[in-house]
A and B are shown apart, each in its own frame.
Chain A
Amino acid sequence: MATKRVAICAVAQHKNEPDLWYRRFQNMLLDVLEDLQGQTGFKYGEGGVEMIVSTSDDFFDARTISNNGVTDVIGGQYLAEEKMAQEGLNAIGYANAIILSGHKDLVLIMGHCKESQGESRNMITNCGFDPFYGRATGLDYLNAAGLQARAYMKKSGLTDDQMAEIVVRSRQWAAKNPYANAQEAIPAGKVKSSPMLCDPIRQLHAYPVSDGAVGLLLASEERAKEFTDKPVWITGFANCMDTFFFGDRDLTSNFALKNATEKACRKAGIQDLKKAADVVEVMDCYAYQQPMWMEGLGFCGDGEGARFIAEGGPGKHRVNLSGGTLAGNPLIIAGLYRAAEATLQLQGGAGDRQVPDAKCAVAHSTNGPAGQFHSVLILEA
């Protein structure tokens, strides 16, 4: 039977690590799965979980049909298992739809990625460009971000000092997050003197290479109470695609993110996300992206991201208390980590990072070169 709303019952995270060379991703997923089963006691098969949405990537795993390598570990034997082949936050949007449709009443989401297995993230993301123009000119997601960062600094007045400040703050919060990768405190000077990767992006402005895995259990309203007494409700999810060639878009317009935010807020019945949200988790792969995505989410006006940083916006709006993606999550599941942190905050389980009485949280993710695609998830306690 169709349900009216869908709950995230539980989340489990594998600690992000720079290079888990001694662990296969199957082992990492098994840890996450056992954690989830410990929390909820869910079973597989008729009356239990019959549908699994996994998240992984063929390139990062160097395997065609990468979910084939994890089907048995995540319990997919003789059950439905499908792969969200884009950033994992979309798996939550899709699972929400599966449950609302009445097709299944429980969905297990299991995402993994080991960035350390690849020779270079840039080599992989270079293949994200068309083979005729983009790939031949050596574009990858890093130098695409470099172009966007330069354009955004010009538009908003964001400075090298402010980008350093964003990284320093990320590390301070990451130190309180047991799942974060880069937890070491660093002074602003070290950020500013770190090697230039792709002007204006320095090494410490970029998210570190990370291995990780995340799991979530979603249930219909009727069944959620079997698994948790602290359900977190999915009230809005939307995403949006921008066009592909950089010459066809304004790299600083936030077109896709604004559009996705508006659609998600409409579904959640939220007029002003800035007032409604107690916690915000944005996928900031590079330091400049945090203020830029906050603009797109409507927390400050167009081109006012630098002022947002200067006026302490991230602290005021509780942005990325997990440390954010800057503290290290794999590209493919960075949004799943955002959603996991947002869920913990709404369940009161965020430890030293807990925001008192958090009722509404936003989790964001982006996909593709220079923010071509954005997803926005709104959660409420």
Chain B
Amino acid sequence: MKKHIKNRNVAIIGIGQTTLSSHKEDQNQVEMVSEAVRNALADANMTLDDIDCIVHGNMELFEMQFQPDMWHALGCGSYGKDEYRITTGGTVGATLVCASDSLVASGQYDTVLCLGFEKLQEGNTTGGITNMADPLWFRNLQTGALTSTTATEMIKEFGKERVLRAAMKYRIMIDKHAMLNERAHRRLGLEYDQLETLMETSPQLVGELRLIHMCSQSDGACAMILTNEDRVKKGTAKPPVWIRDHETSHRGENMSNLYGAKKPKSTHRDCAEKLFKRNGIENPLEYFDVFEMYDPSAYWGLDWLREFLLLKDDEVLNLMEAGEFDMDGKLPVNPSGGVIASNPIGATAMLRPAEAALQIRGDAGGHQIKKEVRHALASGFGGTLWTVMLMLEKELNW
């Protein structure tokens, strides 16, 4: 097997999530963060004494909390320990897992706990995202994360009827998955026979993007514990999930990327090509058993699947129409309900590898895939189309 050699191998041995909700008013930020950390420690059957380093992340301007890791020292257990705060926008949760992988693999730390959180209820999410744009050139054109550019482009490519139906089918599929996940925030109980009604009645946000297509704003946190191969050999409470490799591809918001006549290459495809080439994956659709994807809207979910899986022409629509991304399909996508169901932004991209790892462990409860999961893919999205991808494995066989 082609492989990416690390200084030492790293496994996920603890996963903790809070419940995900639009209003976690019974907790302040510190208490919410603490819930995820305590759940991760309990999952790994560890105490804070076993943790060498904490890696913390979110977006400061969503809660308007400057350097939140200082206050959160009370909830995340960083007192007396090494701590890093690393951020990359919506991708931050996935970046924290990649960073923890590097920190452990380096030998600088044996066991690292990473923590992503957001309490979007406490801020103005779309206002916050709009503030991302350059104040001189782009801010007055910004609509936060709400855009129908992808819908328009797909319609131009495949025809309106087919794209609208496929996107709504994707949306209903995701809700069916969320219904199986008791932690998920939005569980609406949608049925496929509502497809045509929803296409007409869901309020339009921008162009063809309707309210039902869009992800939620949630409160929640996720924590994961990563350790090295030697520590895993001493025994772990739950089966270890190995991080085989990860890659990141970012893109700036310059004029040619935003307004150029030629559509620039997507970071999803760029990132996937690099990662799969390095690891000798020729057909990702065949290789992976599950894909937890950061899908902020139904159109993006659909469009990005073809980029991540390196699909050609209308393959993605064919697969969608044939139900191959369902729980019992060829490649189940977001059994957890994904981002459309739950989106505490700083935690969202960590929930992807967390949920993928639960699938490998066979621990996902109601939304566990029936067939064995040995190879899992997880992705994060943030900023102006930044992408992080992680490959998780059941067996350490490289």
A interface residue numbers (CB < 8 A to B): 1-2, 51, 57-59, 62-65, 67-73, 76-86, 90, 93-94, 96-103, 124-132, 237-245, 255, 259-260, 263, 267, 367-369, 372-373
Contact = CB atoms under 8 A, between A and B. Distances in A.
A65 B383 contact: yes
B82 A80 contact: no
Given A77-B251, A80-B249, A241 B81 contact: yes
B59 to A, nearest CB: 6
A242 B70 CA distance: 9
B267 A94 contact: no
Nearest to B64: A127
Interface in B23-82: 28, 30, 54, 57, 59-62, 64-67, 69-71, 73-74, 78-82
Given A64-B59, A86-B84, A59 B66 contact: yes
A100 B133 CA distance: 35
Interface stretch (B96-104, B192-200, B330-338): B96-104
B87 A83 contact: yes
Contacts of A255: 80
Contacts of A373: 69-70, 83
B82 A263 contact: yes
A81 B249 CA distance: 7
Given A2-B6, A71-B384, A241-B73, 15 more contacts: A64-B60, A65-B383, A73-B252, A78-B265, A80-B249, A81-B386, A82-B99, A97-B106, A99-B106, A102-B5, A128-B71, A242-B80, A244-B73, A244-B74, A372-B70
Given A2-B5, A124-B66, A65 B88 contact: yes
A128 B135 CA distance: 24
Given A97-B102, A100-B107, A85 B87 contact: yes
Nearest to B62: A64
Main DSSP-derived SS at the A contact region: mixed
Contacts, number: 207
Contacts of B103: 94, 97, 101
A100 B128 contact: no
B108 A100 contact: yes
A85 B81 contact: no
Interface residues of B, number: 67
A63 B87 CA distance: 13
B86 interface: yes
B134 interface: yes
A71 B250 contact: yes
Interface string B116-128: 0000000000001
A78 B103 CA distance: 23
Contacts of B386: 81
Contacts of A62: 131, 135
A90 B101 CA distance: 17
Nearest to A267: B108
A59 B65 CA distance: 9
A5 B267 CA distance: 32
B353 interface: no
A100 B228 CA distance: 14
A126 B249 CA distance: 34
| A78, A242, A245 interface centre (most CB from chain B within 10 Å) | A78
A79 B86 contact: no
Contacts of B87: 65, 67, 82-83, 85
Contacts of B7: 2, 100-102
Contacts of A72: 252-254, 257
Given A2-B7, A129-B71, A240 B82 contact: yes
